[in-house]
Amino acid sequence: MRKSANYNNETGDCELSNMDRITLAGSNAFQAANGYDYMENNCIEEPTKLCEFKKLNGRILKTVDSVYQDVGSADECRELCLNSPYRCHSYDYGDTGEMVCRLSHHSRATLADIQDPYLEVPEAATFELSSCYNVSIDCRSGDMVARIQTSKLFDGKIYAKGSPNSCVRDVNSSLEFELSMAYDNLECNVRKNGLGRYINDVVIQHHDKIVTSSDLGLAVTCQYDLTNKSVTNEVDLGVHGDIQPALSEEVTVDSPNVAMKITDRNGEDIMQSAEVGDPLALKFEILDRKSPYEIFVRELVAMDGVDSSEIVLLSHFDAFKFPSSEVVQFRALVTPCMPTCEPVQCDQEDSTGDLRSVISFGKRRRRRSTSAAHEDMLLVQSIQITDKFGFEQDLNKSGSIGSEAVFIPNDGLCINVAGLIVAATVFLSAQLAIIAAWTFIWQRRRLSSKLSQDGMSVSVSLPSQLSSSRTDSLCKLYDTGYIHSRRF
């Protein structure tokens, strides 16, 4: 069903189109043309599953198509617009009366040629339909396909979440687009969740480079019925009548249940973590020992989970890690075979270092493609790998000793800060004691020297008439003492 038509009045030609003013809103695709009549189909069905409305504050439409009273909420009014018998493109609620819902097929794209279509009401608001999406999932034998139908021309891209560059579909001005995600494509990151259940996340991005608030995220799921089926084979020997068939065979075949384990080189199970450099191996086995299937392992890769780093594994390997993560995720595609798997030619290095061709009969990486892609099984296993730098171990050890440890490698001694402080205190105390003793001795000596100088400065003057006295008179003067000498 077409959305619009152009009628040429002169020639009588009628041109049908699946575009209209809504799908081409904002593109300036309409031009004035004399002699043409433009018509739109107002009864066509549009996508209504995922719809976005834009709020226009301070205005309501002067005329509407439908008015509903006693509507409980704005959400109920929104549902009335989406489920209306005509193409509803805007609504308002509670602005013209309590619990009143008004619907209209008009929007700003259809009101460009009408003068003053809105009433300016500060407290009011009109909700205008921006775009709608219908999403459908097609679950096929080897992949899932997400199909999107929009009500407005879409320019952007659709991609699997986490793989915006490797599992993506660019869309240019289209109303319908799709994204195929194969189960055996490791780039699309389809996850197996239970028996026969596959899930993935899809992002619809409007801008080519950045993610905005108008983008949508979808969770898609495919569920397959993998229960056992009974197969009956009856052999008709050509005898007709009441005789029952001579042979009746009923066979029930179980699907193989394959497990991937991370082991050491001897095949023994290890913990969920290892250290860089540990010798490891990947072990693939069918859990049911009586299963008639054999398996081939191919496309074995190790990833860091950020969709930016990966390596291909060929044989036994030592534990490694990516710079961006300590978790290494292994992914492999396993192809079941009945009754046996075909051998492949592998190049193996012998003791002399030369490569020689060896026939492999299974459980190695397969180097040829397979036509039965729907039979492949995706196995995922993760392990935490720690590096050998020892930063965390050193931090743990230092935490147990304390942050006061000081190492002196020149002397080969180890002391702590408390001991160092005590030794420094004793040394400073000894220095202060020595300085105090020296100061005390120096003051004593200075005082003694001053007293000695004061004693030497006292002079004894004798009158001239006694200068010629006899020696015994002078001796008598010394015998009388210092006090008596001051009388003269």
Q: Which CATH number characterizes residue 290's domain?
A: 2.60.40
Q: Where are the alpha helices (DSSP H) in 166-219?
A: none
Residue 121 lies in a domain: yes
Does residue 68 carry a pLDDT above 90?
A: yes
Q: What is the structure's pLDDT at 424?
A: 85
Task: Identify the weakest region by mean pLDDT among 163-177, 276-290, 399-413.
Answer: 399-413
Average pLDDT over residues 319-342: 73
> Tokens in use for 472?
């015994």
Q: How many domains does the chain have?
A: 4
The answer to whether residues 419 and 329 belong to one domain is: no
Q: What is the structure's pLDDT at 170?
A: 93
* Residue whose C-alpha is closest to residue 341's, from 356, 360, 357: 360
| Domain range enclosing 270 | 258-386
Using CA atoms of 317, 318, 322, 325 in order, give the dihedral in degrees to the nearest 10.
110
Does residue 293 carry a pLDDT above 80?
A: no
* pTM to 2 decimal places: 0.46
CA atoms within 13 A on the CB side of 438: 6
The answer to whether residues 75 and 148 belong to one domain is: no
Residue pair 283/325 in contact by the 8 Å Cβ criterion: no
The answer to whether residues 320 and 345 belong to one domain is: yes
Task: Identify the weakest region by mean pLDDT among 4-13, 187-196, 267-276, 316-325.
Answer: 316-325
Query: What would you report as the CA-atom Rg of the chain, rounded to the nearest whole angstrom?
Result: 49
> Tokens in use for 235?
């052999």
The answer to whether residues 368 and 267 belong to one domain is: yes
Within 320-446, strands assigned E span: 327-337, 344-349, 355-360, 377-386, 405-408, 413-416
Residue-wise pLDDT tens digits, 201-249: 999 988 887 777 778 888 999 988 766 555 544 544 454 445 444 444 4
pLDDT > 70: percent of the chain: 67
Residue 456 lies in a domain: no
Last-in-domain residue among 353, 386, 419:
386
Q: How many residues in the chain?
A: 488
Q: Are strands 273-275 and 377-386 parallel, antiparallel or unpaired?
A: parallel
**β-bridge mates for residue 2, sequence order:** none
Residue 272 lies in a domain: yes
Residue 228 lies in a domain: no
Does residue 445 carry a pLDDT above 60?
A: yes
Residue-wise pLDDT tens digits, 357-401: 666 654 443 334 434 444 677 777 777 777 655 544 444 444 443
The answer to whether residues 365 and 427 belong to one domain is: no
The answer to whether residues 168 and 214 belong to one domain is: yes
Residue 28 lies in a domain: yes
